[in-house]
Amino acid sequence: MGPQLLRAFALALGGGILALGLGLGAFPLALGLGLLLFGKRLYPGGFLWLAPLPVLLRGEVPPCAPLGTPPLRLGGLAWGRHRLTLPLPYRLRRRGAHALALGLEATGLLGLPRRTLRLPLGEALVYPALRPLPPFRPAPGFFLEGLRTPRGLPDPLEAKGLRPYRPGDPPRLLARKATLRRGEPLVREPERRMQGALFLHLDGQSLHPAYPDHAASLAAWLLLQAEREGMAFGLSLGGGRLPLGRGRAHLQRALALLARFAPSPTPTPPPPAPPGSTYLLITQAAERAFLEGALKGAKRAREGLLLLLPEGYFLFPGERGRKAFGVPPGLQRALALKGVLLAHGLRLQVVRGHEPLRFGGE
């Protein structure tokens, strides 16, 4: 599931005019290049150039270890309009935003002059790896709401029944066939449910190299589950904040933030929770500034959960680890404020490095 949901995207279009001397004069060389990655084993990319006179071109794409791309070199004689496809195999090795560049050298047939360009191809975003984790059920909202439709009329199958027409009902809910059959106006009663919202915050302070990837993978799994259930979700971390929203495009923006999630030496206090949302905080260090921000931010939350990873990681399904002993300083601070956190609506959940992830009891 993970590699299929990972989408690496980079799009660049660069152009330039090169004045290359050949004999007594110079001529322009228009260069355009494009690179597009869509999660396939070989992505389409290539060069497109227009040269009135012959030009020797040599290009090189340096290797990228996080993407597993080998060094690629090519060369040839460009004359007129020519397009060269550039397949570049890659493997999604490491989460993050990885820059890609092309080094291009153009030389006249007589060897002079020689121009060298380094053209940025953009960056490839590698989303966090997805692995199946236990489901998390956000608390229901305060108010009943119906299933949202982006456009058009609501689906008749979403109605739970029919009822007599009441003044103020919108005409689009009128059940025409049932009205003609019964002889009185009837309307479809849409299904209403108490659908909650999830707001997720990741503390950027990391004490272990595995914490950013584990936290990002967990956040991606939670947001994916929320999107599948049609609920609103938001994300906050050191690199930015995404308000509550719905839909696949909103999920892609959240995954892009998680791809850029990087550790920081200082804690990242959480922002205030949206009213009526489920407030889920993930941290490893649990510094005092972070805990104070969590107490202030949970005032308007429907429910709060502080997930503490003292070792910075947990066991995925099927993994086995060595038992972790001792009480880290972050765990001591969180346990000392456990009653205060609970009084402010934040339940403390501790998952040690040798334990699988769980959202059950304390």
pLDDT (0 to 100) of residue 172 = 77
Reported as a single tens digit per residue, the pLDDT across 320-354 is 888 888 899 999 999 999 999 999 999 999 999 99
**DSSP string spanning 33-101?**
EEEE--SSSEE-EEEEEEEEEEEEEEEEE--BTTTTBPPEEEEEEEEEEEEEE--EE----S-EEEEEE
Paired with 122 in beta bridges are 100
CATH number at 59 reads 2.60.40
pLDDT tens, position by position, 60-71: 888 888 888 888
Q: Which of 142, 175, 195 is the last residue of a domain?
A: 195
Residue 183 token pair: 């002889």
In a domain, 138, yes or no: no
Please report, rounded to a whole number, the percentage of residues in the chain having pLDDT higher than 70: 74
Q: Residue 354 has which token pair?
A: 């040798």
**141 domain-assigned:** no
Instruction: Find the mean pLDDT for residues 209-223.
Output: 94
pLDDT at 280 over 60: yes
Structural domain boundaries enclosing 88 = 2-126
Task: Judge whether residue 100 has pLDDT over 70.
Answer: yes
Number of domain units in the chain:
3
Q: What is the average pLDDT across 172-201? A: 81
Full-model pTM:
0.69
Residue 80 has pLDDT above 50, yes or no: yes
Q: What is the pLDDT of residue 189?
A: 72
Mean pLDDT estimate for the chain: 77
Question: Is position 362 within any domain?
Answer: no
Alpha-carbon distances of 319 from 103, 131, 284, rounded to whole Å: 43, 12, 20
Tally of CA atoms within 13 A in the half-sphere of 47 that contains its CB: 25
pLDDT of 65 reads 81
Q: Is residue 150 part of a domain?
A: no
Of 18-27, 37-46, 135-144, 319-328, minimum mean pLDDT range: 18-27
Per-residue pLDDT, 12: 26
What's the CATH number where 246 sits? 3.40.50
Whether residue 172 is contained in a domain is answered as yes
DSSP 205: B
Q: What is the pLDDT of residue 3?
A: 35
121-168 per-position pLDDT tens digit: 767 888 998 888 988 888 876 554 555 555 555 544 445 678 888 888
Q: How confident is the model at residue 175 (pLDDT cuts 50, 70, 90)?
A: confident
330 and 268 assigned to the same domain: yes
**320 and 232 housed in the same domain:** yes
